Each structure stands twice: as structure tokens, then as C-alpha cells.
């Protein structure tokens, strides 16, 4: 088994602008990742082969982005026991069709589903980091430090706002 990594599967190359939002998060945590365009419907055999191969090579978490019927995450979840995170993509119906297709999985084949689009891609990457951090104390510290930095940023923004508002009175 190789070095742990996250596999990111997209149903189409047109999903890349949304999914890229998560790349920086994984890079910030020094998490290796692979990206592949594959389809639950158009290339089911190639998808299955990639999942089997990624499992064997040390994939820890699968992130799957798809629009419309959005069966990619569910198809991948049916092939692996590794955690699968689904990112619904807005390809039609404002992404609601993708959201429902991703989140409404049958009992026993779970898919963790995040928000539609770029925010979802970032949260998928953060969730993957948190999953990987369970067994990696150095990564866990990075995730904790990131959360603390985000909290400090909110506190600083509130301080600036309060100062600006006090000058109006």
C-alpha cells in the first residue's frame, strides 16, 4: 500500500472549476490527491477499475463531484468501504437534482454530502482532512490550528466592525 491520498472523481471536466476550490485546502494540509474524470453512467467499468486500484494504492477518502443525476458518489460508495464524500454540482435545476441524488442513498451505502458547488468542494476537502487526521496526530494539529486561525479571523473582523460602528455614533 502506498502513501495515503484522497481520490477526487468528477463526472465531467466541466466540474473542474467547482472542484478546484478544494485543491488549495488539501494542499494547505499537505494531503496528496489524485483527480480523475470518470462517469457512473458512461464509463462504469473504468470507474470501478479506478476505485479498486485507488483502494489498493492507499486511498483513504474518495471525493466525488457530479451534476444532474449525480450517481457517481453512490456508485463509488457501493464499491469501497472507504469514506465517500459527494459534492453536488449545479448542472441543472440549481443543483437541487444533484443534491437529492447524492444525499438520498439507501441504508448501508452512506455518502457524506456537502453543499452544492465551490463551498461544497472546500468542505469536502476539509472533511477529508478531518477523516485522515483521526489516525495522524500531525495532521490533526494542522486541522486544529486552521480552525483556531479561522476563529481569530472572525474575531478580528468583528473588532474592525465594532470600531467602525462606534465611530458612527
Could you tell me if 11 and 66 are in contact, meaning their C-beta atoms sit under 8 angstroms apart?
yes
Kindly give the confidence (pLDDT) of every residue in the chain, 169 residues in length, as a single tens digit, with 9 standing for 90 and above.
679 999 999 999 999 999 999 999 999 999 999 999 999 999 999 999 999 999 999 999 999 999 888 899 999 999 999 999 999 999 989 999 999 999 999 999 999 999 999 999 999 999 999 999 999 999 999 999 999 999 999 999 999 999 999 988 6
> What is the SS3 assignment for 68?
coil
- H-helix or E-strand containing 67? strand 59-67
Give pTM, 2 decimals: 0.93
For residue 42, the model assigns a pLDDT of 94
Burial classification of residue 112, based on how many CB atoms lie within 10 Å of its CB (0-12 exposed, 13-18 middle, 19 or more buried): buried
Cell of 8: 477526487
For residue 67, the model assigns a pLDDT of 87
Amino acid at each position: 500500500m502506498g502513501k495515503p491520498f484522497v481520490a477526487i472523481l468528477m463526472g465531467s471536466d466541466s466540474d473542474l472549476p467547482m472542484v478546484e476550490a478544494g485543491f488549495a485546502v488539501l494542499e494547505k494540509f499537505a494531503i496528496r490527491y489524485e483527480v480523475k474524470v470518470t462517469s457512473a453512467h458512461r464509463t462504469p467499468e473504468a470507474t470501478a477499475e479506478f476505485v479498486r486500484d485507488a483502494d489498493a494504492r492507499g486511498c483513504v477518502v474518495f471525493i466525488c463531484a457530479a451534476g444532474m443525476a449525480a450517481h457517481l458518489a453512490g456508485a463509488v460508495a457501493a464499491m469501497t468501504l472507504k469514506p465517500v464524500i459527494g459534492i453536488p454540482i449545479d448542472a441543472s435545476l440549481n443543483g437541487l437534482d444533484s443534491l437529492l441524488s447524492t444525499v438520498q442513498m439507501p441504508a448501508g451505502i452512506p455518502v457524506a454530502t456537502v453543499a452544492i458547488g465551490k463551498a461544497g468542494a472546500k468542505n469536502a476537502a476539509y472533511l477529508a482532512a478531518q477523516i485522515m487526521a483521526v489516525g495522524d496526530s500531525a495532521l490533526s494539529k494542522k486541522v486544529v490550528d486552521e480552525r483556531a486561525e479561522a476563529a481569530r479571523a472572525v474575531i478580528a473582523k468583528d473588532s474592525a466592525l465594532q470600531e467602525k460602528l462606534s465611530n458612527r455614533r
